[in-house]
Structure 1
């Protein structure tokens, strides 16, 4: 893609280092090493934080940082991380870790009810100098030794001016939404500048929220796909996008762009694969190539267009991510990063995916056609439908175990009852 045109008001940052991290084997050591070297501040946002071998390693890294005087703040989602127990939390808070829960709600008859408008971002900022953005949670199922249901996923490690935007976005959510009083913190980037030989990437942080940036990430996808001239590869775990993006993918294939979708073939949520497959005929009949990743569950949210544009982040292309959840993606304009991601995704699609032919999809199409018609129109009007749901303002609450009590219920439920 030739130096694509940014939307008005966007803040592109030049001269950044961009490193692709594939799966937990590359992501966790990089994050833990950055935390281990922190001098002043560690900020973390995540959807899932679990008491398993990965969660305990992160817990210890944060405790060690807090005990040597680093300010450590972590924000976890009240739905995705609602099983943390009080002893696990107490070990962190006693060491000085500031732990917050995004919109915790009690279970109803043992069922989590706070499904919508979740914190789904995965951000890390260390000393205002090193940042991480992606789709990887802090749990063991992002490691290959977890077994056949280990997830395939991606993240980025970045340095340079883009980290300032990531730092501000994370503090904005932690400080303003929680209404907590904290000492003012200046921008902390006082460490060594990125290597001039490797800091070539132009980047933009795009977030999705329910107030000012309701469709920013989707608009970046639409803009890139609409202007594509050579190739599009999208690897996305939960693919059920809006009508406009489906139409532009089909239009790109019609004008000769090589369009490849890498989707789940071994789903962790079977319903989502069923939804995706309802769209296959619409895309395949105009030349879009669909490959299902079958080695393990695909959890990635990455894409590339032509030879420069790429994105890595937390946003799926489904109604929850595009219309409800808080999400964060990096948009990257860099030929070298695009080539690295293309090399990986091309190899993945050729060696670990099965191709979905149009002939297979057409079998039984007569009874699926009415369902597909309804799906298209539902997708087209989904944002308006969602707008009818109550738009409460989620609150952040400190995660503090009740003194003298060892709960047998999840810490979120106990905090609510206290």
Structure 2
């Protein structure tokens, strides 16, 4: 799939589960023909059960429903949860769940990390929000701050084609007649949708085949072109050396560069990794803000007054070199301004600005650690290419055991 700018879209920012879940569930409730959903995490909590109910209702009224979950991210769905979906006609697919070794899951690499919904080929959602209650504020101090977008317009057809192709590619182990069924569906998908708004947009993915660095490349192009401001809000920040270099160069040529990173991370190692790069960034004039209200899970950015992106891709080795990811890139002044107002609000009211004095002087072990971190950013994309590059198959979820079945194609 070659990424390209597609005009005429209406794209709406959805902040946190309070905005995302009602819109996604309402569209599923109104689906007439088809629902395709991909997610890294689906938990059997109040959000997962609400989705479960919406999917079953859609399938029972004749809507074709395909749900793909990641076997590592969603390992513990109950027999009842899966069985009732399948009995209603929902087709549940599992991405490479892998085996447990002494009760532990060891297949940490190359996950299906995308979060996509397409309903009737007419509306799509892309972002970073999983189906779990920790994306709602009433979850408490550990509730995540995150974003998604709702898309209407011609870009939806591009996303629709991609989701069908992903299902077709992943299910080639099935009987030949099933493969031809997917081929027919690909041919009958709509090629164009009416213009719904003024936004030019692009759907960009990262995979382990032809698009290994597309999302990072678009980030670097936008950073290199920025003249006024850059705001990157990213949960897991440990990018490659080339992206760090572009941020430093942008700050040195006078661009106002802001990073919003985790101050209260869900995993402490996340903050440790990011802080190893603080001196490198602060010394060039990059402004670092730690979000301290709750765990930050967003993957959004904007450059100048038009360019913005929302998606599933973090700026760390897993997302940039291993996982399957999907982002939407948007050229639209109104969307950019709205996203900027929300991120500026975070910086003003929920973040702590990190200064060079607070970062402290690098000495002893901190100096050694920073040295190795810097050189790791220069080398890890190359190292990643040496890791196993299997192409996992999608298999139906089984309801006669807690772990879905699995199979790898090497």
Q: Normalising by the residue count of structure 2, what TM-score does the alignment of the two structures yield? A: 0.94
Between the aligned partners of 2:17 and 2:190, the Cα distance in structure 1 is 27
Give the SS at the match of 1:82.
Answer: coil
1:125 and 2:118 correspond? yes
Deviations 1:132-176 (A, max 9, x none): 000000010000001100000000000111011111111111111
Alignment partner for residue 348 of structure 1, among 337, 346, 349?
A: 346
1:411 and 2:409 correspond? no
Partner of 2:393: 395
Give the SS at the match of 1:205.
Answer: strand
Between the aligned partners of 1:127 and 1:189, the Cα distance in structure 2 is 10
Deviation at 1:365, TM superposition (A): 3.8
Give the SS at the match of 1:411.
Answer: coil
Quote the RMSD (CA, aligned, Å).
1.6
After TM superposition, the runs of 4+ consecutive aligned structure 1 residues lying more than 2 A away are: 186-195, 362-367
Deviation at 1:312, TM superposition (A): 0.2
Deviations 1:343-402 (A, max 9, x none): 000011111000111011124545322221221211111111111112122111101223
Q: Which deviates the most, 337-346 or 372-381?
A: 372-381
Alignment partner for residue 302 of structure 2, among 304, 309, 314?
A: 304
Distance verdict in 2 for CA 1:416–1:234, change over 3 Å: closer
Partner of 2:266: 268
Between the aligned partners of 1:348 and 1:341, the Cα distance in structure 2 is 11
Between the aligned partners of 2:294 and 2:14, the Cα distance in structure 1 is 18
Partner of 2:244: 246
Partner of 1:369: 367
Partner of 1:4: none
Residues 127, 189 of structure 1: 8 Å contact kept: no
Deviation at 1:191, TM superposition (A): 11
Give the SS at the match of 1:101.
Answer: strand
Q: Which ranges in structure 1 are unaligned for 5 or more consecutive residues?
A: 1-8
Residues 128, 299 of structure 2: 8 Å contact kept: yes
| Residues 319-334 of structure 1: pairs in structure 2 closer than 5 A | 319-334=317-332
Partner of 1:20: 13
Between the aligned partners of 1:190 and 1:229, the Cα distance in structure 2 is 36
Between the aligned partners of 1:75 and 1:146, the Cα distance in structure 2 is 25
Deviations 1:176-218 (A, max 9, x none): 12214252225555999454xxx00000000000001000000
Between the aligned partners of 1:224 and 1:366, the Cα distance in structure 2 is 37
Distance verdict in 2 for CA 1:312–1:96, change over 3 Å: same
Give the SS at the match of 1:260.
Answer: strand
| Residues 201-240 of structure 1: pairs in structure 2 closer than 5 A | 201-240=199-238
Deviation at 1:416, TM superposition (A): 5.6
Partner of 1:108: 101
Between the aligned partners of 2:113 and 2:286, the Cα distance in structure 1 is 29
Between the aligned partners of 1:192 and 1:204, the Cα distance in structure 2 is 15
Between the aligned partners of 1:62 and 1:214, the Cα distance in structure 2 is 32
Deviation at 1:43, TM superposition (A): 0.2
Partner of 1:31: 24
Residues 310, 329 of structure 2: 8 Å contact kept: yes
Partner of 1:338: 336
Between the aligned partners of 1:133 and 1:317, the Cα distance in structure 2 is 17
Q: Normalising by the residue count of structure 1, what TM-score does the alignment of the two structures yield? A: 0.92
Residues 37, 68 of structure 2: 8 Å contact kept: yes
How many residues are aligned here? 398
Between the aligned partners of 1:416 and 1:115, the Cα distance in structure 2 is 15
Partner of 1:3: none
